[in-house]
A and B are shown apart, each in its own frame.
Chain A
Amino acid sequence: MSVRPAAPFDIHDLEPEAFLAEVHSFEFWFQAVEGYLTGLTWGHQPDAVEASFTEIERDRLITVLCNYCVGETAALEGASGLIAIAPTHLAKVFLSTQVADEGRHLEVLLHRLRDLGVAQPEAEVERRASRSILLFRQRLIELVASRDWEAAIFAQNVILEALEFAVFHSHAQTADPITREVLQGIIKDERRHIGFGENELGRRLATAPHIRARLGRVKSELDHLVLDALEETMQSIATPQDERHRLSRAYLESVERLGFAS
C-alpha cells in the first residue's frame, strides 16, 4: 500500500472560526510582539545614537509627539473602557492586548520627549496638544461611556487607528533614526488594531445593517477633527502636498471599504 505524504500545513486552510480564535488570543499577541520588541529599550535599540537637530526641528518634533501622546492616551482610555461592553470573550481578550499596546505606545512616546529635553512631558502634552485631537479624545470617551459598542469601535479602531497608521507610516519615512524605530514598532501594533476594528464592524454591519446610519453620523461628526489633526501634523513635519493627499486617501480607504463614502 502506498502512502501519500501529507500536504504541508498552510495557514489559509484553517477554518474561519479557528483563525479568529487564534488571532484574537493573548498567546498570539505575546508571540507576535516578542518578535519585534525583544531587545529594545523604550521602543528602540539601546545603543541607537541621537541625531543632531536644529532648535526649530526639535521644537516641531516635540509638538508632533505631544499630539501623538494625546491620540495614544485616547486609545488607551477607549480600549480599556470598551472591554466592559465588548460583546464576545474574543473581543474582550483582544482589547486587553490592545490596552497593553497603547500603554506601551504612550510610555515610549513620553520617554522620547524626555530624550529630546522635555523635563515634564505630561505638562508639555497638555500645553501643546491641538484642539482637534483633544476634541476627538473627548468625543471618543463619551461614546465609550454611552456604551455604544459599534460607534466607539468605529471612532477608535477604524477612524483613529487609520489616522495613526497613515501618519506614523509617513512620518517614519523622514524621521530621525530613534523616532523612526519607535514609530515602526508602533505601526506593527497598529496593524492588529485597524484590522480588529474593520473586521469587527464589517461583520456587525453584515448582520445588522440598521447601524449604518448611526455610524455615518459618527463619521460626519469626527471626520473634520481627524482631517484637521492630520493637516496640523503634516505641516509640523513638513510633509509635501502630494504626500498629504495620499495620506488623506489612505485614511479614507478603510471607511470606504466599510461602505461609508468620503
Chain B
Amino acid sequence: MSDPLLEGVEAAAAEKPRQRYLLEDTGFDEVPKKYRKFYRKWRGGGDALAPNEVICPVCKVVIRSSRELRPGDRVYCMPCMSRLVVVRSEHGTLEAHVAY
C-alpha cells in the first residue's frame, strides 16, 4: 500500500527543478574513456550516495547522472550492460531495479 503523505512529498519534489551535477572522471577504468565519469566504485561502509547516484544491483558499481535522480528515471549500467529504473525503497532511499 502506498503512503499518501510520502506521495505528497514525492509530488512536491517532482515539481522542483532538478539539481544539475558537473561530473568528473573518478578513475573508474572499466568503460571507454568518454563514459567513465558516469560510474565510480562503491568505497564500502563509509561511502554514501549523492542525489545523482544509485548502485547497480547486478554488479555493485555506482551509477552517476548529470542530474538529480528521481523515481521512474531510467539509468544504464555500462560495466554490466544493464538497463535500470530508479525506485524509492521502503527505507526512503533511491535504488535501481533491473528492467529487462
Known: A8-B66, A205-B100, A257-B57. A191 touches B76 (CB 8 A): no
Q: Interface residues of A: mostly helix, strand, loop or mixed?
A: helix
Bits for B32-76, please: 1 = Cβ < 8 Å to A, else 0.
110110100000000000000000011101000111000001111
**Chain B residues near A191 (CB-CB < 8 A):** 30, 59, 61, 79-80
State how many angstroms separate the Cβ of B13 from the closest Cβ of chain A. 19
**Chain A residues near B38 (CB-CB < 8 A):** 10-12
Q: Interface residues of B: mostly helix, strand, loop or mixed?
A: loop
Known: A10-B67, A35-B29, A257-B98. A198 touches B35 (CB 8 A): no
Say yes or no for B77: interface residue by CB 8 A criterion.
yes
**Chain B residues near A14 (CB-CB < 8 A):** 76
Interface hits, A4-58 → B, CB 8 Å: 8, 10-12, 14, 16, 19-20, 22-24, 28, 31-32, 35-36
Say yes or no for A238: interface residue by CB 8 A criterion.
no
Say yes or no for A196: interface residue by CB 8 A criterion.
yes
- Which of B29, B33, B81 is in CB contact (< 8 Å) with A195? B81
Known: A10-B67, A32-B31. A192 touches B83 (CB 8 A): no
List 28 A-B residue pairs with CB atoms under 8 Å apart, sorted by A's residue number.
Answer: A10-B65, A10-B66, A11-B76, A12-B65, A12-B73, A14-B76, A28-B31, A28-B78, A31-B31, A31-B33, A32-B30, A35-B32, A165-B59, A188-B29, A192-B79, A192-B80, A195-B80, A195-B82, A198-B58, A198-B80, A198-B82, A198-B98, A199-B82, A199-B100, A202-B98, A203-B100, A206-B100, A254-B58
Given contacts A12-B76, A195-B58, 6 further A-B contacts (CB under 8 A): A11-B35, A19-B83, A23-B81, A195-B80, A199-B81, A199-B100
Which residues of B are in contact with A by a Cβ distance under 8 Å? 29-33, 35-36, 38, 57-59, 61, 65-67, 73-83, 98, 100
